[in-house]
């Protein structure tokens, strides 16, 4: 099967890397795995052996007949739901995903990484419990911030879960090989508790609105704070350093030096500013 360049396709051939992805998902029979981009179905086989059910979303119409033939028995039994769709327009409310524990396992095209993370972390419906993603290595390192330097991307992920670097995957493990190496990351304990902590228990609709407001305020401040990454946070936010000290942030701190808890404190502190 020739890859489709417009879809950013690179088929993973390494059995070790495929095994590591499946293992990182920590699947049980109680789980539903939402696989993004099953391609030729090599990872799908491993997920079917571990999960109670697999929902596989494939955008390339050329691959659908191959997958239907390869997994005819699993489709017939209801263990595999094969869907021809763009994952960025796919709703988790389909196929009972909201009624079960579900985890995302994805080898996504590099160019949709930001949109994909936003869609499934900031969703207004039920979030996945865990994501295991195969990403461009540089992007994976930025998310985990292994160098201690945070970014809007790393903060955006850490506001919803705990990212961990699982391992690197060389470009030669793919067919065709991409121009850069990749890496496997897991984002665990995904929820919106970061934004709901400290709220009393008002009616559900009111609570949802309050969470959305805290979420929106957090990201507005984050974008403002990172507008000029090499400048001091006080300068970017246009506030006196005394205001930062209320959250334990030193006066000459740059955006990359702040933790996700620091930004949360600042967004609460500046809510009336």
To the question of whether residue 107 is assigned a binding role by annotation, the answer is yes
Q: pLDDT, tens digit, for every residue of 237-252?
A: 998 888 899 999 998 9
pLDDT attached to residue 44 = 97
**Are residues 159 and 263 both part of a single domain?**
no
pLDDT attached to residue 257 = 95
10 Å Cβ neighbour count for 101? 16
Sequence-ordered list of residues with C-beta below 8 angstroms from that of 118, at least 6 positions apart, any chain:
156
**Are residues 101 and 138 both part of a single domain?**
yes
Dist CA 174 CA 232 (whole Å): 41
**Are residues 82 and 198 both part of a single domain?**
no
**Are residues 215 and 187 both part of a single domain?**
no
Strands 11-12 and 80-84: unpaired
**Are residues 168 and 41 both part of a single domain?**
yes
Dist CA 37 CA 108 (whole Å): 7
pLDDT attached to residue 201 = 52
Q: At 195, phi and psi to the nearest 5?
A: -95, -15
The string of DSSP letters for 75-123 reads HHHTSEEEEES-GGG--TTGGGGGGSEEEEEE---GGGHHHHHHHHHS-
Q: pLDDT, tens digit, for every residue of 208-236?
A: 788 888 999 999 999 999 999 999 999 99
To the question of whether residue 12 is assigned a binding role by annotation, the answer is yes
- 211 touches 192 (CB < 8 A): yes
To the question of whether residue 10 is assigned a binding role by annotation, the answer is yes
**Are residues 16 and 86 both part of a single domain?**
yes
Please report, in tens digits, the pLDDT of each residue of the chain (273 residues total).
444 444 445 789 999 999 999 999 999 999 999 999 998 899 999 999 999 999 999 999 989 999 999 999 999 999 999 999 999 998 877 766 666 779 999 988 888 999 999 999 988 777 899 999 999 999 999 999 978 899 999 999 999 999 999 999 999 999 888 899 999 999 999 998 999 875 545 445 555 788 888 999 999 999 999 999 999 999 999 988 888 999 999 989 999 999 999 999 999 887 644
Q: Which domain holds residue 113?
A: 5-191
Tokens found for residue 151: 């970014």
Q: 């985990």: which residue's tokens?
A: 144
To the question of whether residue 209 is assigned a binding role by annotation, the answer is no
**Are residues 131 and 233 both part of a single domain?**
no
Dist CA 213 CA 221 (whole Å): 12
């Amino acid at each position: 099967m020739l890859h489709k360049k417009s879809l950013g396709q690179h088929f993973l051939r390494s059995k070790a890397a495929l095994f590591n992805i499946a293992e990182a998902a920590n699947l049980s029979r109680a789980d539903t795995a939402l696989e993004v981009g099953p391609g030729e179905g090599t990872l799908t086989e491993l997920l079917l052996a571990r999960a109670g059910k697999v929902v596989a979303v494939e955008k390339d119409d050329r691959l659908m007949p191959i997958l239907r033939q390869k997994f005819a028995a699993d489709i017939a039994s209801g263990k595999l739901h094969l869907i021809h769709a763009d994952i960025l327009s796919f709703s988790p409310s389909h196929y009972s995903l909201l009624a079960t524990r579900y985890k995302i396992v994805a080898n996504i095209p590099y160019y949709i990484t930001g949109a994909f993370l936003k869609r499934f972390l900031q969703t207004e419906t039920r979030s996945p419990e865990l994501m295991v993603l195969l990403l461009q290595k540089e992007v994976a390192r930025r998310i985990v911030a292994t160098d201690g330097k945070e970014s809007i991307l790393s903060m955006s992920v850490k506001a919803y879960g705990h990212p961990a670097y699982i391992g690197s995957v060389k470009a030669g493990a793919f067919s065709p090989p991409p121009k850069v190496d990749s890496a496997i990351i897991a984002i665990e304990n995904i929820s919106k508790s970061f934004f709901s902590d400290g709220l009393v228990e008002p009616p559900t609709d009111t609570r949802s609105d309050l969470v959305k407001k805290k979420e929106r305020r957090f990201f507005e401040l984050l974008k403002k704070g990172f507008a000029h990454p090499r400048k001091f946070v006080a300068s970017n936010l246009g506030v006196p350093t005394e205001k930062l000290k209320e959250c334990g942030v030193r006066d000459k701190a740059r955006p990359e030096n702040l933790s996700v808890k620091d930004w949360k404190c600042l967004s609460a502190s500046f809510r009336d500013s």
